[in-house]
Amino acid sequence: MYGGDLHIEYVCDKDAGGVIQTPVEGAWTLNPMMYMRVQQLPVNIHCGATFLNQDPKDWTIPPIKVPPTGSRVISFKLKGIYNLGGNYEVTTDVPGASVTLNPSGPLSPGQEKSVEITINCSGQGFKEGNVYITTCKTTVDQKIITLPVYVVCSNDYYECMRESNTQLSKDNGICSLWVCANTEEMVWDMRLPEDSNQVLFSGGVIAAFISGTDTIVARQDYRDARTGARDTIKTIQAKLDAEPDCDVQKVYVTKTYVWVPPTIPAVPKWYWITINKQILLFHDSPGHTCPEWKKEQVIKHVWVTWGRYPAWWPSPGSYTGHPDIYYGVFADIDAPFDTGCRTMGGESQSGCNAAGWDDVNKMVWQHGFAGLNHPEYANYHVGMALTNTAGAIVTPLGCKDVLNDVYLYPNNGWGWKDAQLYALAATPLNPATVADQQDSVLDRSAVITAGKIAASASPTDTTWQGEFILIEAMIKTGLDDLKSHIVQTRTVLIPELASAGVFSKVFPICGDLNQDGKINSADVVFLINYLFIQGSTPPWPKSRADLNGDGNVNSSDVVWLINYLFIQGQAPHCPSPPF
């Protein structure tokens, strides 16, 4: 350093260090020389701050849950940046909230301070507002950072996915299932190597409608949030008598509500739609091996109903009927693809899939790309098809398999635009145009519209319902085997499940033998009829009738139930599976 500047000199000399040499004293050898002078830049002095370690990570999706008569602390860290310190102040306009730790003070460059905001609730309700971080106060660098906050003061609400009981992961050794209470689901094939690098089905239930001037498609997928949870996930696994080698697992959640976060601050709305679902997965029964094809699928039973707003919802307005509601599913589908698919033109995409429609079985399918590392992917197919509790072929109202670079990725990096997704859901089925560009370069998504609930202007029309059963299957052995799989599931498994009562919309309760969601004298009558006059068999799982947990269903269970109902006896305690 000299004069504040940096001077760099470099000599490339085969002689000793570039010194003066003979034979001619006082002469320089011909050595390449490099010299550079770096001038000192003027120093800009600025003050600044940023926030980090926000806890929870998002304060709007999902909203913060607070007990209706309790409090909760949310927090973040404030860090000084640049090269000049300054003063900061944190304030909030969220009703009932205050900054309770480090609300203001000095902040030096590199210094971190924890800030806490305490939110208090005094009854059920919905709060909205912001946290304001004013940095470098009264300087030319003063800035205000605004963090929006939504708060639900209620126990009739769950933070999906922050609360552990709102999500569930299960697998049967082949099919891995992840479910969230806000309708989002993912399905993997565990047999695939890690370098296949894809989730096979990622998406969930949709309900598409136009409310006034708003086009809304209820859905939940990754960062694309249009639904919320008012229930936890329940699950039960038990033997299915008709399939002695297999257990059936039911994953169940109800009361998913429809909301659209961006509209809440300006126009709080309740959309009167509730989404309910149960997902079935086959497992090996203890000591037995369930056939592989039965474990290569998930079966989803969905029903969409009218839903009254909860006590915490703001300004719900009056129900005056409903518009047309298209209901079904959407999924970002990626069959496995090998390296090399991007050389075909898919360099900017995350997967290479081809798609098609089987008009005989009313099934949309995809397969990936086979390369040198995984030639077997040429036969790997995934498919989706509708059915009902009778196992019939159900033709969807609509079905489209589209390219993600057109419909999904361009919209702020990720997520559907409501108008685009609504248009796909409302488009009638045309078998010739189900698959856009049947190539194997781009990754794809499928939208299946199961049906439409016709519009009604009557405020008393609250009994409408849309219902469907979806089969999602994954096969390693080709399209013909996939078609056969769908046929077998419809004709064999679905009727067996229906006959056993697995599709009941009431989650199994120990002692509830007639599946009405209650334990009362009607269950005593049911059990007596079953045991003594050849009445109906208790629905799946049959262990719900073993009220004293001794492993048998007999007259002692009748006595147990009567004692419980009428003389304050012990509550039913059925054995495994746990209820």
Distance CA 78, CA 84 (A): 15
Q: Are residues 337 and 239 in the same domain?
A: yes
pLDDT at 342: 63
- Taking residues 387-414, what's their average pLDDT? 88
Mean pLDDT of 211-239: 88
Report the alpha-carbon distance of residue 189 to residue 200 in Å, rounded. Answer: 7
Provide the token pair at 312.
């915490």
Element (H, E) at 426: helix 418-426
User: Any idea what the CATH number is for the domain that residue 68 is in?
Assistant: 2.60.40.10
Per-residue burial over 80-112, b if 16 or more Cβ lie within 10 Å, else e, is: bebebbbbbebbbebebbebeebeeeebebeee
Query: What are the two backbone dihedrals, phi and then psi, of residue 296, each rounded to the nearest 5 degrees?
Result: -90, 35
Average pLDDT for residues 156-178, to the nearest whole number?
94
Band (pLDDT 50/70/90 cuts) for residue 31 is: low
State whether 314 and 435 are in the same domain: yes
pLDDT level of residue 106 (50, 70, 90 thresholds): very high
Can you give the pTM of this predicted structure?
0.88
User: What was the pLDDT predicted at 575?
Assistant: 87
Higher pLDDT, 557 or 22: 557
- What was the pLDDT predicted at 280? 98
Pairing assessment for the beta strands 143-153 and 64-66 based on DSSP bridges: parallel
Say whether both 182 and 241 belong to one domain.
yes
Tell me whether residue 486 is in a domain: yes
In a domain, 522, yes or no: yes
CA distance 370 to 350: 15
- Domain-embedded: residue 379: yes
Model confidence band, residue 194 (pLDDT cutoffs 50, 70, 90): confident
The mean per-residue pLDDT over the stretch 124-137 comes to 95
Residue 2 has pLDDT above 80, yes or no: no
Tokens of 409: 């990725």
Which of these three, 153, 175, 204, is where a domain ends? 153
Give strand pairing partners of 258: 227
The tokens for 76 are 């973040």
Which percentage of the chain shows pLDDT scores above 90?
Answer: 70
- Asked if residue 173 and residue 130 are part of one domain, the reply reads no
428 and 293 within one domain: yes
Asked if residue 116 is part of any domain, the answer here is: yes
Q: Same domain for 385 and 424?
A: yes
Q: What is the pLDDT of residue 260?
A: 74
* Domain limits for position 68: 47-153
- Residue 159 placed within a domain: no
Per the listing, tokens 């990725």 go with 409
CATH code of 194's domain: 2.70.98
Are both 144 and 236 inside the same structural domain? no
What is the pLDDT at residue 572? 94
Q: Phi, psi (5° rounding) for residue 175? A: -105, 125
Q: Which residues of 405-427 are buried (b: 16+ CB within 10 A; e: fewer)?
A: eebbbeeeeebbebebbbbbbbb
pLDDT given for residue 347 in this prediction: 43
Per-residue pLDDT tens over the stretch 319-374: 899 999 999 999 989 888 887 776 655 444 557 888 999 999 999 999 988 888 88
Q: Is the pLDDT of residue 578 over 90?
A: no
Distance between first and last Cα of the chain:
78
What value does the mean pLDDT take over residues 53-75? 95
Decide if pLDDT at 223 tops 90: no
Residue 445 burial class via C-beta count within 10 angstroms: exposed 0-12, middle 13-18, buried 19 and up = buried
Position 409 scores a pLDDT of 74
Distance separating alpha carbons of residues 214 and 201, to the nearest angstrom: 28
Q: Which residue has the higher pLDDT, 85 or 11?
A: 85
**549: pLDDT confidence band, cut at 50, 70 and 90?**
very high
Same domain, 451 and 520: no
Return phi, psi of residue 342, to 5°: -70, -25
Q: Give the number of domains in the chain.
A: 4
Six-digit token pair at 271?
Answer: 């959309």
Q: Is residue 25's pLDDT more than 80? A: no
Q: d(Cα 290, Cα 295) in Å, to the nearest integer?
A: 7
Is 566 within the bounds of a domain?
yes
Give the end of a domain, one of 499, 516, 536: 499
At residue 432, the pLDDT reads 96
pLDDT of residue 530 exceeding 80: yes
Q: Which of 451, 469, 499 is the last residue of a domain?
A: 499
pLDDT at 498: 97
pLDDT of residue 156: 96
> Quick one: pLDDT at residue 199?
73
- Tell me the HSE value of 77 on the side-chain side, using a 13 A CA sphere: 9
Choose the weakest-confidence range: 29-43, 135-149, 394-408: 29-43
Same domain, 380 and 523: no
Q: Which of 118, 67, 111, 70 is nearest to 88 (CA)?
A: 111
Same domain, 318 and 465: yes
pLDDT at 288 over 50: yes
* 468 lies in the same domain as 527: no
DSSP per position, 105-131: EEE-BT-EEEEEEEEE-SSSEEEEEEE
- The secondary structure of residue 415, as a DSSP letter, is -
Q: With bands split at pLDDT 50, 70 and 90, how would you rate the model's confidence at 126?
A: very high
Q: What is the pLDDT of residue 3?
A: 63
Lowest mean pLDDT among 15-19, 33-37, 60-64, 249-253: 15-19
3-state secondary structure of 337: strand
467 and 363 in a common domain: yes
Give the model's pLDDT for residue 252: 97
For 412-430, what is each residue's pLDDT tens digit? Answer: 667 788 889 999 999 999 9
pLDDT exceeds 80 at position 84: yes
pLDDT at 15: 53
SS3 419: helix
Q: Is 465 a domain residue?
A: yes
Q: Say if residues 257 and 274 touch (Cβ distance below 8 Å).
A: yes
Report the CATH number that the domain containing residue 535 is assigned in CATH.
Answer: 1.10.1330.10
Which residues, 6 or more positions from 160, have their beta carbon under 8 angstroms from its beta carbon? 62, 166, 167, 180, 181, 182, 184, 220, 228, 229
* 158 assigned to some structural domain: no
| 259-273 pLDDT, tens digit each | 876 555 555 577 899
